[in-house]
Amino acid sequence: MEKMTNLKTDVLSGLSVALALIPEAIAFAFVAGVSPQVGLYAAFMMGLITAVFGGRPGMISGATGAIAVIFTPLIAKMMETSRAQGLSFDEGMQMALGYLFATVILMGIIQVLFGVFKLGKFIRLVPHPVMIGFVNGLAIIIFKAQFSQFTVGGDLLPSNQLMIMLALIAFTMGICIFLPKFTKAIPATLVSIASVSIIGHFVNQSNPGLIRTVLDFVQDMDPKITTIAAGLPTFGIPQFPMTYEAFKFILPFAVIAAAVGLIESLMTLTLVDELTETRGKGNKECVGQGVANIVNGFFGGMGGCAMIGQSMINIKSGGRGRTSGITASIALLLFIVLGSSIIEVIPLAALVGIMFMVVLGTFEWSSFRLFKKIPTSDILVIIIVTTVTVFFDLAIAVIVGIIVSALVFAWEHGKTITANKETKDNKTNYTLNGPLFFASITSFKDLFNFKEDADHIYIDFAASKIWDHSGIEALQNVSERYATNGKKLHLLNVSSDCKTLLNKASNIVELTILEGSHRIADDALDS
């Protein structure tokens, strides 16, 4: 019985996701500079293949803005080249699409290799403050993306249309907030879309065009489009010249898109893991994303990655299994092939209201309460990642966040190296505590008294470790300063991996390594 309930919830949740996917897939297609069908096909294929083969049940993939903006200059450049060659617009677009699809295939191959070599585990290197900043930044981006629904041709809607749209958005959000308090048998998102669509149908019958619909949104971007209907995607080899110059042109786009797609997908996977208290498989997700993009390239899709907004709709609606993603993608295809006339009349207000609920559920409101409870450096990382995500790029934001977090970590741990000093029988022993690496070398050098120490100085590494070449250089510098004062430095209890590090650097450093009993094990200085 429980399995049947989960199946029903997954199917209904998938239907809600499918309806929310349509306007975004169309919008992202226009961002990239291609027809809506290319975006809709991408949403279908990405969603279906990752739902079946991906590593995170319940996560939704599709055409995304993060990928679309990467391909925008590629399409623009190819259209410019086609005009220079005297080609017609349609011929130029065919050439541009050939390059786009070839790039998407190469992007997918890179992602598959990333998963095959099990590099997905590196998502664990992302600190929690970076994750919070990523989530908050994406929530703000989703919120800002809805502003275009309130305008026509760059101008704000007339006051009567605007007020009705705001009222319907509030009505949609009200259903999403209060219906789950009474029943969870049907996803609130699906009920809200159906309810607002019924209202919109009757209002527009008496006052045509008063409530803006999905078709209105599409025609605002391209008045020549009369329907979002499309046939089934068909297989085709991209019209791409197999030359070194052409490959060199698309390679940077493919690498950047592959990186951005994997970062967004793996970050979304981590978020869904936290919300569902389960664990997805990062490497499997990399392969699934890659296979989906390869198929996109051969079947006329613009590629994509995981979608945090739609994933949140699915999770909040109760979708947990692979069935939810499969349902969403198949329903999307049926809508554009058979039910486009129904989808075209859905009021934008219903979809905007749902996305506003996604924003409220995605943003980490608890981050405001953390400001007096976590280190200032973590707060700084959250703010930096959020800001960079909003104004620049997701991948850049995550990389910047990791770098800042790493530098903070290095700075804090660089200050923690200490030593217990003991002088006896013409021997001075320093027992180190803390790591010896680039950030701690200044503190390390300040520990020693080069003039007052005994003739033989022992540094005990039982509670310490040499991490990098900077640490080796610091040891060499300390050894030379003691030698200048007629004294000799010895190292005690150096771990095997540290000995390996020192041996590799034997041509540039000379250090005496002793066992804990002071018996000489390796004395490069005297050899």
CATH code that applies to domain 415-526: 3.30.750.24
pLDDT at 525: 33
Task: Classify 64 as helix, strand or coil.
Answer: coil
How far is residue 365's CA from residue 129's CA, in Å, rounded to a whole number? 13
pLDDT at 409: 82
Element (H, E) at 488: strand 488-492
Residue 523's pLDDT band (boundaries 50, 70, 90)?
A: very low
- Domains in the chain: boundaries: 2-406, 415-526
pLDDT in tens, 61-100: 999 877 887 888 899 899 999 889 998 888 888 999 999 9
514 forms beta bridges with 492, 520
State the CB neighbour count (10 A cutoff) for residue 45.
30
Overall average pLDDT of the 208-231 stretch = 84
Overall average pLDDT of the 455-480 stretch = 87
Q: Are 511 and 491 in contact (CB under 8 A)?
A: yes
Q: Are 136 and 363 in contact (CB under 8 A)?
A: yes
pLDDT at 519: 34
pLDDT in tens, 51-66: 999 999 999 999 987 7
Residue type, 216: D
How far is residue 200's CA from residue 207's CA, in Å, rounded to a whole number? 10
How far is residue 499's CA from residue 461's CA, in Å, rounded to a whole number? 11
- For residue 172, give the nearest of 275, 313, 12, 307 by alpha carbon: 313
Q: Encoding tokens for residue 333?
A: 């295809």
**pTM for this structure?**
0.71
How far is residue 281's CA from residue 220's CA, in Å, rounded to a whole number? 41
Cα dihedral angle (363, 366, 368, 372), rounded to 10 degrees? -150
How far is residue 300's CA from residue 26's CA, in Å, rounded to a whole number? 14
Question: Does 183 score more than 60 pLDDT?
Answer: yes
pLDDT at 229: 84
Residue 228's pLDDT band (boundaries 50, 70, 90)?
A: confident
300 forms beta bridges with none
Q: Are 36 and 228 in contact (CB under 8 A)?
A: yes
Question: Does 510 score more than 60 pLDDT?
Answer: no
- For residue 417, give the nearest of 394, 441, 383 by alpha carbon: 441
Q: For 65-74, 121-130, 310-319, 488-497, which range has the lowest pLDDT when averaged over its residues?
A: 121-130
Q: Encoding tokens for residue 253?
A: 């786009």
Residue 163's pLDDT band (boundaries 50, 70, 90)?
A: very high
Residue 211's pLDDT band (boundaries 50, 70, 90)?
A: very high
User: Do β-strands 151-152 and 155-156 pair in parallel, antiparallel, or remain unpaired?
Assistant: antiparallel
Residue type, 64: T
Question: Does 131 score more than 90 pLDDT?
Answer: no
pLDDT at 175: 92
Length of the chain: 527
